Amino acid sequence: MGGEKETLTRADARAYLRRFPVQGVWQVAFNLLLVSGGNAIVLYLLLSGRMRAAHLLVLVAVEAVLLIVIAALSTIGVPPGDRFEKPMPWRERLPALLFSVFWIAGVYSITLVFIHGWSDFIALMRSADAWFAAGLFVPIAYTAGTALLQAGADRAHYRRHGRPFISGVAGPVLARILTLVLGGVPFAMPFFVAVFGAVKGVEFVLRKARVRPAQSMLAGIGMPVIAYGAFALVGMLIEQDVAGWAIGFVLAKLIAESMVAAIPLVMDHVANEPETVAAG
């Protein structure tokens, strides 16, 4: 899971599941509820007019930095050999870090022009009052609170059960980074999710066609309708200009966090695979 190891094995997945076991539909629903709660706060602030598009960018960037700090602090005193994710040397991390900084700085400099957000961004740099006026401290406190609780649970589990140390904060960090990197084109994530869903739906239909032709025929008719509705939604967001951009960015954030929240399901699948499974 780092360095020389580029695949996810059954042993890795089982170690992960010992820390974060799949506990059925209700546990998955609870995890998604936490994700939805944080994004509901952001959406409410946007719809109420307190938070604007530029504030949203700053929020996600601050959350990313805050979560990285909390994740790093949670590993203090944990030997590198005990960590599930082995630390990568700086020479391996630096190219990706430089690319991410260059991409984020370049894309969002242009984005701030498109959303007329430079004045809001500069106001945040000059005064703490702008942060309170935009309500930014509410979602930041929510993110920090849930991350600190998770970090405390990680440390407690490590003290009781020993290695490997698995950070539950690493997932939210990944989600924020994905949001920043892919959210530069905020309609991209809803678009690709729609395409992925359509492809999986077609695969499901093809499998069913050999057993239940009538049912698969109905599904085959419904899939293009669902796909068209998803693309129509993306088109509607684009037509809404800045407001659509902000909603699209929140959708990208929600999708990224939901994908990360579903990692235990992926680990459960890998743990039951007979062979080593390559992981991206």
pLDDT in tens, 127-175: 899 999 999 999 999 999 999 988 998 888 888 877 778 888 888 888 8
- Indicate whether 90 pLDDT > 80: no
Residue 247 has pLDDT above 50, yes or no: yes
Average pLDDT over residues 13-30: 63
Strand, coil or helix: what is 2? strand
Asked if 75 and 167 touch (Cβ cutoff 8 Å), the reply is yes
Question: Structure pTM?
Answer: 0.73
Torsion sign, CA atoms 63, 251, 31, 273: negative
Greatest Cα-to-Cα distance within the chain, rounded to the nearest angstrom: 65
H helical segments located in 127-276: 128-134, 137-161, 170-182, 188-209, 213-239, 241-261, 263-271
pLDDT for 68 beyond 60: yes
Would you list the domain boundaries of the chain? 7-278
Task: Provide the mean pLDDT of the chain.
Answer: 75
Which contiguous run of DSSP H or E holds residue 122?
Answer: helix 118-126
What does the block give as tokens for 49?
A: 């007019």
From residue 24, give the alpha-carbon distance in Å to each of 14, 27, 30, 240, 254: 16, 6, 10, 39, 21
Q: Cβ atoms within 10 A of the Cβ of 151, count?
A: 19
Q: How far apart are CA 133 and CA 170, in angstroms?
A: 30
In whole angstroms, what separates CA 149 from the centre of its chain? 19
Among 41-50, 112-121, 255-264, the range scoring the smallest mean pLDDT is 255-264
Q: What percent of the chain has pLDDT over 70?
A: 62
Burial (CB < 10 A; 0-12, 13-18, 19+), residue 219, is middle
Q: Any idea what DSSP says for residue 136? A: T
Inter-CA distances, 224 with 50, 197, 199, 207, Å? 38, 11, 11, 17
The band of 66, judged by pLDDT with boundaries at 50, 70 and 90, is: very high
**Phi, psi (5° rounding) for residue 136?**
-65, -30
Q: In this structure, what DSSP letter does residue 270 have?
A: H
CA 253 to chain centroid, in Å, comes to 6
Close Cβ partners of 223 (under 8 Å, ≥ 6 residues apart): 198, 201, 202, 205
